[in-house]
Copies of this chain bind each other. A is one copy, B any other.
Amino acid sequence: MKYSFKNDYSEGAHPRILEALLKSNMEQQNGYGLDEFSLAAEKLIQEKLNNSVSRVYFVSGGTQANLIVISAILRPHESVVAAATGHIFTNESGAIESTGHKVHGVETGDGKLRCEDIQNVLDIHTNVPHQVKQKLVYISNSTEIGTQYSKTELEDLSEFCRKHKLYLFMDGARLGNALTSEHNDLALEDIGRLTDAFYVGGTKNGALIGEAIVINNPDLQAEFGFHIKQKGAMLAKGRLLGIQFHELLKDDLYFELAAHANMQAMRLKEAFRNIGCSFLAETYTNQIFPILNLGMIDKLSQNFDFYVWKKIGDGTSAIRIITSWATQEETVDKFIEEISALN
């Protein structure tokens, strides 16, 4: 069977997580997120954020996290601004609209939203009350195409949002990869300070399932649990989420795993660059998008699985390669060998 670089959720969980589940298995715990592990994991996140104001809520997946946060925050006439590549705009089967809210998808070159992008949306929505009111800005870090926000960029967005009374929400499905990238200058603490809400993605970084929603803005915390319940996201055995995040965060396994994924991606990037490839986007996280001709793609496809992402022209396409906490160094060695042989 081919080895898959199609995504970062092909395997189960990091072994330490399964051990933690086994170890605590027969302890009786409160349900619905009131177990000791969930409470301890919340505390770990507050410590890393260096504040005790942020509240943490665990849910099982990213689409769920996005739709709960957004629908809990917005009033019916308010809308979301996102990059057109944003997961909520294009890959969640209309989940946000299903809760009643419009998402404005802005075309960007690199998947990153900038202040002027948001300003452009505001500028064409001044006909009150005939047009929706923009109220929340959604960004992903790292983005759906592997790019990431710098501290300056996030500070600019944060300031812009506060000035325009917009909430800033960061989708952190791959937050670990962003924060351990060699180009990163953001700390988790910065994100707690600069956003109204974000989530720490577990599913794509070693957990079986789980995203930790963090609500930093106290105004948005009130009665948040109702929304989790109403959208069907409050697990009876909330311990399943608490145990995993506790294990991932208690000694920074979370960041180790993400760093490992990034490193393997960078090794592959180097190999592609060495044979003269260009890339769809300049990324330093666990996603790379080398542009190859069809012959090369065919050859690499014999032993490895990946998505052909986008036709570029002249018989070339960008492919998407994703590494993860589970990607083995030896497999990457083998892949590099094959890449090098393309030359």
**Which residues of B sit under 8 angstroms from A234, Cβ to Cβ?**
61, 63, 129-130
**Knowing A67-B232, A71-B76 touch, does A93 contact B223 (C-beta < 8 A)?**
no
Query: Helix, strand, loop or mixed for chain A's interface?
Result: loop
Contact residue among B91, B99, B203 (Cβ-Cβ distance under 8 Å from A130): B91
A64 on the B face (CB < 8 A)? yes
Residues of chain B with a CB closer than 8 A to A11's CB = 25-29
Per-residue B-contact encoding for A100-123, CB less than 8 Å = 1, 0 else: 111100000000000000000000
Q: Which residues of B contact A131 (CB under 8 A)?
A: 90-91, 93
Q: Which of B94, B100, B235 contacts A98 (CB 8 A)?
A: B100
Cα-based distance from A320 to B231 in the complex (angstroms): 27
| Known pairs A76-B227, A228-B129; A237 contacts B9 (CB<8 A) | yes
Q: Is the CB of A21 within 8 A of B24?
A: no
Asked whether, in the complex, the Cβ of B26 is within 8 Å of the Cβ of A326, the reply is: yes
* Contact-residue size bin, chain A (C-beta under 8 Å from the other chain): 35 or more
Known contacts A27-B11, A223-B129, A225-B129; is A77 also within 8 Å of B101 by CB? no
Report A230-250 CB contacts with B as 1/0, cut-off 8 Å. 111111110110000000000
Q: Which residues of B contact A128 (CB under 8 A)?
A: 225-226
- Candidates B25, B28, B100, B209; contact of A15 at CB < 8 Å: B25
The answer, among B12, B29, B103, for a CB contact under 8 Å with A24, is: B12
Residues of B within 8 Å of A203, CB to CB, are: 235-237
The answer to whether A68 touches B18 (Cβ under 8 A) is no
**A143 CB → nearest B CB, Å:** 17
Residue in chain B with minimal CB distance to A241 = B209
Q: B77 touching A223 by the CB < 8 A rule?
A: yes
Do B92 and A130 have beta carbons less than 8 Å apart? yes
Cβ–Cβ < 8 Å partners of A12 in chain B = 21, 24-27, 237, 239-240
Shortest CB distance A248–B (Å): 15
**Among B26, B92, B226, which residue has its beta carbon within 8 angstroms of that of A230?**
B92
Is A132 located at the chain interface by the 8 A CB criterion?
yes
Contact of A132 (CB < 8 Å), options: B77, B94, B239: B94
Q: A204-B236, A232-B233 are in contact. List 6 more A-B contacts (CB 8 A).
A: A61-B234, A66-B232, A75-B223, A128-B225, A129-B234, A231-B231
> Which 8 A-B pairs have CB atoms at the shortest separation, nearest pair first?
A64-B232, A77-B226, A12-B25, A129-B225, A94-B132, A10-B28, A129-B226, A9-B236
Q: Could you write out 16 A-B pairs with CB less than 8 Å apart?
A: A11-B25, A18-B21, A60-B235, A63-B234, A64-B233, A67-B231, A77-B223, A77-B230, A79-B97, A93-B131, A94-B102, A95-B230, A99-B100, A129-B225, A133-B226, A208-B237
